[in-house]
Amino acid sequence: MVLGLRSAIGSDVGRRRTSNQDSGATTGRLLVVADGMGGHAHGEIASAVTVAALTELDARLPRDLSDVDLAEEMSNALVAATDNLEQQALADPDMRGMGTTVVSLLLTGEHLALAHIGDSRIYRLRSGALEQLTHDHTMVQQLVDEGQITPEEALVHPRRSVLMRALSTDHEPEPDLDRVPIEPGDRFLLCSDGVTAVLGDEALAETLSSSDDPSAIVSRLIDLANEGGGPDNITAIVADVVEIGDADEPQAQHLRVAGAAAEGATSS
């Protein structure tokens, strides 16, 4: 059995922002979403550079990944993105402080290699049950973990957007790295917090179960986030695990980009 991904991607500025600092990309085997931050400090560049680093990694990797240490390769790609941002910040001090979250999945056999920094999220829907595969690197999540506040209090905490980890010019990236076993019928969602700030787990599970078409799901998620106020940029990837023919090459599918990455925002 050979497994592949059937995916769709979309991004929207939302209702309250004037520019889109999110970026995202999909290929036949790579999925990545990045949520840039820094306001005038060029968050859109940080997200686009990070997405580009991972898509360039995917293009370099061989078709057969069985002998490849994907955790190391993905970590190195994030270091390269950080170095790129640091060089740009040295040339233009106004860019210091820019940064981004990142969530990414890379298909290898019957697993997905996972990389995660920040508060963008990855979910898996399997047999109707939704599971969050990432753990937010935020101040409020740390407070929840320590038992100081409840998950419900975290949703309305005044510092709920404060990140404890991000890919930025300030330090080396510290990604969470994992391998996720997959099976046909699994559906994955990668999204920025423009989605999860509005939609809770119940709404996400219902929406992800509402159609067989990933494109329809992405459009619906963006619509629902905007209907809920669109407080931030909105980016989502929905990907289904499917069986494919042995002769197919998942990675041969063309690159699709969204958000700031689609605008070519990789330098000032």
- Specify the DSSP class assigned to residue 212: S
Q: Tell me which residue has tokens 């709404």.
A: 203
How many independent structural domains does the chain possess? 1
Residue 268 in domain: no
Q: Please report which confidence band the pLDDT of residue 247 belongs to, taking 50, 70 and 90 as the band edges.
A: low
CA distances from 41 to 83, 84, 100, 267 (A): 16, 15, 11, 12
The residue type of 6 is R
Contact at 8 Å (CB) between 82 and 175? no
Cα–Cα distance measured from residue 95 to residue 83, given in angstroms and rounded to the nearest whole number: 13
Structural domain contains residue 29: yes
Q: Confidence band (pLDDT; 50, 70, 90) for 249?
A: low
Q: What domain range includes position 206?
A: 2-263
C-alpha span between 24 and 208 (Å, rounded): 19
Dist. CA 116–CA 68, nearest whole Å:
19
CATH number at residue 129: 3.60.40.10
Angle between helices 70-91 and 43-60 (to 10 degrees): 140
| pLDDT attached to residue 251 | 47
Tell whether 119 is covered by a domain: yes
Q: Could you tell me if residue 111 is inside a domain? A: yes
R_g over Cα of the chain: 17
pLDDT tens profile 206-235: 999 999 999 999 999 999 999 999 999 999
Question: Could you tell me if residue 176 is inside a domain?
Answer: yes
Q: Span 180-194, mean pLDDT? A: 98
Work out the mean pLDDT of the chain and round it to a whole number. 93
d(CA 68, CA 88): 30
Q: What is the pTM of this model?
A: 0.94
Tell me whether strands 129-132 and 30-37 are parallel, antiparallel or unpaired: unpaired
Q: How do residues 34-86 score in pLDDT, each as one tens digit?
A: 999 976 568 999 999 999 999 999 999 999 998 999 999 999 999 999 999 99
Q: What is the pLDDT of residue 165?
A: 95
Q: Looking at residues 233-243, what average pLDDT do you find?
A: 98
